[in-house]
Structure 1
Amino acid sequence: MLPELGSSYGVSPGTASLSVTAYFLPFAAVMLFSGTLGERWGRRRTVVVGYAGYVLASLACVLASTFALFLAARALQGVANAFTTPLLLSALGAAAPGNRLGRALGWFGSLQAAGQTSAPLLGGIAAEVDWRFAFGGVAVVAAALALLGIPAEKADDGARRERLATALRAALRPEVLRIGATAALGWGCLTGLSFMVALRLEEGFGIGAGPRGLVLTAAGIAGLLTAPLIGGRVDRIGRRRSVLIGAGCGALVVVGVGTLPGVWMVALAWAAGGVATQLLLVGVNALVLGSARNRGGSVSVVQSLRFGGAALSPVAFTPLYHADPVAGFLVPAALLALAVPAVLPREHRA
């Protein structure tokens, strides 16, 4: 909807794309400590307040009279969502039995993939009428989620929360930072390359916007369909091994996307990337949720680094791609294959 958004405010689509940055920068930055604060205040209360804040910020997007005000409202959306994402994962980790955590995270990843896959389609349909309907729609959804809430914490969770070392330093342990670095590499060098896949489809094959969108959607659909199965496999093969397999498969995917000679081959490779992404996603989340020390804060730090890696991907790899398109894909593939095993910590069961 960027062209429609830009037209509404009298700015170019490129300038309108600042709305993406305005959302993700505060989202990633606040998530460094939002999980820690949420553990102090209580998960359920914090998530409900976060959804309520998202409703207000979304309505502010609808009513913004200038592009500057719209950007400010987008930033508020990012801040509000930073108080929901890590705490939802923390609540899931507290509710799921340890031997079925991977399966639960698989379903979580599947539903995430469903949202990420359908959001561009629904947003585009809304923009055909008025882009403001998209923001009005997410305000309604957020309001419903605020009413639904999340399962109440157990009675002993409150006592446990009081015993937690909920200072940020408790979540900034070397083990957590290494898992976060793994997440940043995984998303920056795999999922975050979707923009470069689109560039190759356009420049290498002359593919238009519609077919490009279909190819890019293939990864989301593959992740949606396979995430529950992958979650169960993670419980069997181990969390760390799952991440390593996902990184290795992801490296092959990135090489294939950058070198295969046919559009259908690139599409199949990118769909396989959706499966590799779920192996990484479920494995990383299961590793960090295995920690009993400030679980929400630890998840928060890892998710912040994950989205930070995805945000840095265009800055890091676009110049390389323009200098040498093949090298633009080979370098992130090498990082997946070599850097992920180097930084990933050993697995410790809770």
Structure 2
Amino acid sequence: MSPRLALYLGGLLGPFGGGVVSAMLPELSTSFGVSQGAAASSLTAYLLPFALVMLVSGGLGERWGPARSIRVAYAGYAVAALLAAVAPWFWLFQTSRALQGVANAFTTPLLLAKLAAVTPKERLGRAMGTYGAMQAIGQTTAPLVGGLAAEGAWQWAFVGLSVVAAVLAISPLPADSPAPAAPPPSLRSAWRASTLLTGGVAFVVWACSAGLPFLVSFRLDDAFALSPGARGLVLTAYGLAGVAGARLTGAAVDRFGRRTAVCAGLALAAVAIGSIGLLTWLPLVVVAWAVSGVCGQLVLVGVHATVLSGGGRRGGDISVVTALRFLGMSAAPGLFTGLYRHDAALGFLVPAALLALTIPVVAVWWPRPERA
């Protein structure tokens, strides 16, 4: 396995591990004797520690050595996944999920930083597009693989995750850059205005687009009475469209610039998301959700390329931005469920409006690329 391929495959592991429980919640509920609501909290048990620890994990990983930190995180992930497979009590299973999230918090920003370090700036958008596609594949295939495993024994999904993480732990990685002579900057140095701006945009997009599968599922049930399997199939359109458009979105960022790409993604996503609550023909809803996936990929590549284009604290900066991105996703149910229950159209029009209102912020204040 080449070092670059190992970086891309590492990007797939995180979202796959996070979403693998989605299709096995009834089986988890039965195995541990808990309610399905409690079983569903295994998603939060992974996502919340992942997002919170990532506020500092990139900076810490740079201090300890990126390659070493990535390998230790993979080894920890392998052990935690195996613990999930053998856990006899639900509290121990939840603990293992939290530990998987913490381990993933150390791999994601450092893999991105390493990928940026070995990629020429003029091709950074394409590299970020490919990495984003791998993440989309992980997010899209996780429910399918988890559901297939649950047909026999759900524990096999976690055994598989453990094996993959162990293989990645011993796979080759690009060598670390020589350590600078100056003392390492403080962890708070990543919390500067440009990083917080890009992170804030990622928060909005993931709260108002990538974080809305639950809302789309409600809409598919209420307006079209689709079965759970059919709803799940429709929801995969977001990730599949993102994968299919990965090379195009990466090339667009390289050709037209990051600011333009992010603005275009926000504008098209606003139209697509807003229309889902208004459309009454199912094929158009599927198309709108798929377009949202392409737009999310376009914004994500623009954000990653902006943060990683300069030197300095790549790991610390992308760590903060990614943490804000997933905090936005975790905030979406609390922000929009009540609005949707009050008025279905309003549940989608409000996030669409927030996306649109972000465009002038990006147009005026988006960070300029650093010169080499």
TM-score band w.r.t. shorter chain: over 0.9
How far apart are residue 271 of structure 1 and its match?
A: 0.8
Aligned match of 1:52: 75
Q: What is the aligned counterpart of 2:271 among 230, 234, 252?
A: 252
TM-score, with normalisation over the residues of structure 2? 0.91
- Counting only pairs closer than 5 Å after superposition, residues 1-350 of structure 1 correspond to structure 2 as 1-153=24-176, 157-160=177-180, 162-163=181-182, 165-342=184-361, 345-350=366-371
The one-letter amino acid of 1:259's match is L
The one-letter amino acid of 1:214's match is L
How far apart are residue 233 of structure 1 and its match?
A: 1.4
Structure 2 CA distance for partners of 1:182 and 1:128, relative to 1, 3 Å: same
Confirm or deny: 8 A CA contact 1:165 1:293 kept in the other structure. no
Between 103-112 and 1-10, report the one with greater CA deviation.
Answer: 103-112
CA distance in 2, matches of 1:231, 1:239: 10
> Structure 1 vs Structure 2: percent identity of aligned residues?
52
- The 3-state SS of whatever aligns with 2:34 is coil
RMSD of aligned C-alpha atoms?
Answer: 1.2
CA distance in 1, matches of 2:64, 2:178: 10
The one-letter amino acid of 1:324's match is D
- The 3-state SS of whatever aligns with 2:212 is helix
Confirm or deny: 8 A CA contact 2:199 2:324 kept in the other structure. yes
Aligned match of 2:11: none
Between 290-299 and 178-187, report the one with greater CA deviation.
Answer: 290-299
Confirm or deny: 8 A CA contact 1:171 1:293 kept in the other structure. no
The one-letter amino acid of 1:96's match is T
- The 3-state SS of whatever aligns with 2:368 is coil
Between 48-57 and 290-299, report the one with greater CA deviation.
Answer: 290-299
Deviation string 1:82-131 (CA, Å, 9 cap, x unpaired) is 00000000001111001110011111111111111111111110011111
Confirm or deny: 8 A CA contact 1:318 1:328 kept in the other structure. yes
How far apart are residue 228 of structure 1 and its match?
A: 1.4
CA distance in 1, matches of 2:336, 2:233: 23
How far apart are residue 340 of structure 1 and its match?
A: 4.6
How far apart are residue 205 of structure 1 and its match?
A: 1.0
* Structure 2, gaps ≥5 residues long: 1-23
How far apart are residue 348 of structure 1 and its match?
A: 2.3
How far apart are residue 76 of structure 1 and its match?
A: 0.6
CA distance in 1, matches of 2:44, 2:315: 25
CA distance in 1, matches of 2:43, 2:340: 22
Confirm or deny: 8 A CA contact 1:170 1:293 kept in the other structure. no
The one-letter amino acid of 1:309's match is G
CA distance in 2, matches of 1:149, 1:74: 26
TM-score, with normalisation over the residues of structure 1? 0.96
Structure 2 CA distance for partners of 1:164 and 1:319, relative to 1, 3 Å: farther
CA distance in 2, matches of 1:340, 1:16: 38
